[in-house]
Structure formats: C-alpha cells, structure tokens
Amino acid sequence: MEPTKTPGIARPPSGRYKGKVKILVLVAFLILAFVSVRYTSYNEYLSVQALQELLDRTGFWAPLLFILFYTAGVCLFVPGSVLTGIGAAIFGPYLGFLYVYLGAMVGSVLSFFIARTLGRDFASSIAGERLKKYDRAIEQNGFSTVLYLRLIYFPFTPMNFGMGITGVRFIDYFLGTAIGIFTGTFVLTFLIGSLKEVWISGDWTGLFSMKILISLLLLLFSFLIPKLAKKLRGE
C-alpha cells in the first residue's frame, strides 16, 4: 500500500533556489561594501597621515593591523593602488612591499572564497552552453589564465570575485595571483617608498640617486609586461 501524500508540506529547497538565496546575499554584501567605504570610519583612514596615526598607537601590532586593513580594503573594492601607495609611504620600500603583498594575497583569497561560496551555484545554474564551454576552459587552464590577467593588470578586486564564480581550481588561482601580482606590487612599493625616504631626508638630490633611477626603470619595465604577456598569449 502506497503512503498517503500529505498536502501542504513544503518541499526542501532545490539547488537552484539555494543558489538564488546565496546570490542575493552576495549582492547585499557588495552593496554593503560600497556603503561601508563611503559612509563609515574606514574611509577616514584612507590617507597616509590618518592611518599612520592609528598604526602608531598599536605599536608592535601595526604590521598585522595594516595587513588586515589592506585585506578589508580589497574585499570592499578599495583600489589596490591606493592601499599599496599608503602602505609604501608608511613602511618604506621593503617592509612596505612585504606587508602590501601579504595583504593583497589574503584579500584576494578571501574575496575569491566569498564569491565561490555565494555565487558559484547560481552562476552554474544559469550558464548556457557557451558560458559552460568558457568555464571548462578556465578550469582546465586556470593557472595560465589567472597569471595572464594579473600580468596585464586586470582590475584586481573585480577579478578576485569574478574568478570565484568560475570553475577555476583554487590552487591555480592562488599560484597565478601570487606570481602575477609580485612584480607590479614590488615596483610600486619600491618607487613610492624610495620617494618617501627622499622626502624625509630633505635632500632633494636623492631624486637623482641610483635607487630612484632603478625604481623608474622598474616602473617602465612593469608597463611593458602587459604587452609582452599579450604577445606571448597571442603566440
């Protein structure tokens, strides 16, 4: 004898329904990120002087606080160049690079997992055959795709979230990002940090020092990297 079906009992939510709920949460997060940067105290510290004063009060924990500040900035869509410039101006060319790089990596990983957790299911459920084809291609060539996009300076935070909703493997995303942002991050922090040292010394002849010259040459080289990457990719 078949069991009697009880009317009115809701079925468990389907995978697609869960995906819709998650994407709504992701959209809400992105809106909250926009509001947070513009209308909360975070925005007040997006300057060298304000953040420097805050970090000075934390003493030994200043590097960790800056890394967390950078990580939050990445997830809140603050331009990476702004965060990098502030870090270089505060900590100098070498420590600045270390802390900026760590903050950028942690931020990129966190934003990737936010998008992967909240957006991947929905993206998979609505993808047509053409999008699925591209998704499979990214999954199969994840490392080279991520590395290429990082080298041509594809917008940092949008790419973090965008890659999260694709099928790219995390290890490919992580390694492609770690290698791809290394040169650009070092060049920018080294140049700004070196200029900061000249400013503090008050000796403007330092602008013609070998260190500044190397910084400018590295900057010029960094502009050539995207062209080289595109050429190699095309070939």
Dump pLDDT digits (tens) for 124-144: 666 666 677 877 888 888 999
- Contacts (Cβ under 8 Å, ≥6 apart) of 61: none
Helix, coil or strand: residue 47: coil
Give the residue extent of every domain in the chain.
15-234
Instruction: Compute the distance between CA of residue 92 and CA of residue 196 in angstroms, rounded to an integer.
Output: 7
pTM exceeds cut of 0.85: no
pLDDT tops 60 at residue 3 = no
Q: Which one has a higher pLDDT value, 211 or 133?
A: 133
Question: What is the pLDDT averaged over residues 157-168?
Answer: 91
User: Tell me, what's the pLDDT at 96?
Assistant: 94
pLDDT in tens, 65-103: 999 999 999 998 898 889 999 999 999 989 999 999 999
Q: Are 197 and 206 in contact (CB under 8 A)?
A: yes
